[in-house]
Structure 1
Amino acid sequence: MANAPTTSARPYGGVDAADRLAARRARLLEAGLDLLGADRADAAELTVRGVCRQAGVAARYFYESFADKDEFVAAVFDWVIADLAATTQAAVAAAPPAEQTRALITDILRTIGGDPRVGRLLFSAHLTNAVIVRKRVESSALFAMLSGRHVENALRMPENDRIKAAAHFVVGGVAQTIGAWLTGEVRLDADQLVDQLASLLDELADPGLYRD
């Protein structure tokens, strides 16, 4: 991934080299989320020096974990999306089948409500950095695939292109709506938005939509 660490492998202050590197990486990722998820952020102006200043680490430590700025931006996005995926999957798994859609939406809104940086990184239309745009496309494709599998399992139907189309529609529509909600274009409170999105998505549970 990145250049080999330049720090000693010997323990320092009771903390070994691998733990120190992991701690610096975590601070850099958190700093990246601070900067990329800031209100009116311009990721094109993101610099290694700025990230390191925000993280409180020397610039040379950036290259222990990241080859360049683009790899760093991708890593921040992957870190955030992995955390979100883990919590939403747990919320869905804990809910009865009839409540899983609501659990999914509720968890997403709870997460971005608790940390607006996450919402802006994942959904803000103002963040147009090329790496972020690419990562959003990749994550949308992944979530569409997972959504399609959920429909197949729930309706006990084999995969087909109607299910794929609906899955992409769901992922894109939810993302667009959350983005509009974050900017204030959609003026619903969080509970109202959960109700609205869950009701719309429940309408897509009709098996007749997926038969030729």
Structure 2
Amino acid sequence: MNLRAPARTWGGRTAEERRAERRARLIDAALEIWIENGWAAVTMRGVCVRTALNDRYFYEHFADRDDLLAAAWDDVCAEVFADLASVVAENVDRPALEILRAAVTRAVELQSDDQGRARILLADHAGSAVLEQRRKTMLSDATDLLIVTSRPYLRPDIDETEVRMSTLVGIGGFIELLTAWRTGTLDIDGERVIEHTSRLGALLGAQFLPPDVITGA
């Protein structure tokens, strides 16, 4: 029989739990600085000062600043995707285009919160190769998510490549529209973003969805 010694604890927490807590604190500090002043303001020294942790703990988790930025982005992106997936699950019994509208509405709400972490996903990432690559990956992952979500509703004879191209156009355009709205390039409110995107979604969906799926009849 192999007997394992119980994990040693400090203050009621194991070493692994304390490590995880320090990592979370560093990421939270990075996101706070990012939201306040942009990604370029995030530094190893800045997050250490904000968390009262020394650089030894920083390098315990991250190789450098890019590694921290990537981890912070990944955390937020995972949160947003999980949030949107929950919206889809909650509305699964509704017509396909109503599900789309619910997801669009939630995405707009996430960007409406001035203190919300989701804002970093649409910020200016020029100059950061790691964040620009993350943004490209986000577009691809969002496309995959929408295709998987819509597949049960699609006509059986659809061209898969056509679906992917149209989905890329739709999601890419939505991201650019959200960005223009958030930066003030377009002087509109969130409701108008929702209405416009939902109409475009209906136009794109008409190419691939049976009429009864579109109407929910």
TM-score, normalised with respect to structure 1: 0.84
8 A Cα contact 2:110 2:116, kept in partner = no
8 A Cα contact 1:34 1:117, kept in partner = no
CA distance in structure 2 between the partners assigned to 1:181 and 1:78 by the alignment: 23
Question: How big is the shift at 1:116?
Answer: 4.4
Q: AA paired with 1:140?
A: L
Aligned residues: 199
Match of 1:71 among 67, 71, 91: 67
Per-residue Cα deviation, 1:7-39 (whole angstroms, up to 9, x for no partner): xx7322222211111111111111111122334
Q: AA paired with 1:173?
A: G
Change (3 A) 1:116 1:185: farther
Equivalence for 1:201: 201
Equivalence for 1:156: 155
Equivalence for 2:189: 189
CA distance in structure 2 between the partners assigned to 1:133 and 1:126 by the alignment: 6
Question: How big is the shift at 1:162?
Answer: 0.8
Change (3 A) 1:175 1:128: farther
Equivalence for 1:121: 120
Report sequence identity in percent: 31
Question: How big is the shift at 1:51?
Answer: 1.7
Match of 2:20 among 19, 22, 36: 22
CA distance in structure 2 between the partners assigned to 1:136 and 1:180 by the alignment: 16
Listed as ranges, the gaps of 5+ residues in structure 2 are: 1-6, 210-217
Change (3 A) 1:81 1:64: same
8 A Cα contact 1:174 1:197, kept in partner = yes
The correspondence of residues 29-178 of structure 1 with structure 2, limited to 5 A, is 29-39=27-37, 41-43=38-40, 45-95=41-91, 96-97=94-95, 98-125=97-124, 128-157=127-156, 158=158, 160-178=160-178
Return structure 1 stretches of 4+ with deviation > 6 angstroms.
Answer: none
Question: How big is the shift at 1:73?
Answer: 1.0
Alpha-carbon RMSD across the aligned residues, in angstroms, is 2.1
Per-residue Cα deviation, 1:74-109 (whole angstroms, up to 9, x for no partner): 110110000000010110121113311111111112
More displaced stretch, 123-132 vs 194-203: 123-132
Q: AA paired with 1:189?
A: D
TM-score, normalised with respect to structure 2: 0.82
Equivalence for 1:179: 179
8 A Cα contact 1:119 1:182, kept in partner = no
Change (3 A) 1:156 1:15: same
Q: AA paired with 1:153?
A: P
CA distance in structure 2 between the partners assigned to 1:122 and 1:17 by the alignment: 32
Listed as ranges, the gaps of 5+ residues in structure 1 are: 1-8
8 A Cα contact 1:121 1:127, kept in partner = no
Q: AA paired with 1:64?
A: E
Change (3 A) 1:128 1:118: farther
More displaced stretch, 29-38 vs 70-79: 29-38
Change (3 A) 1:129 1:35: farther
CA distance in structure 2 between the partners assigned to 1:127 and 1:42 by the alignment: 10
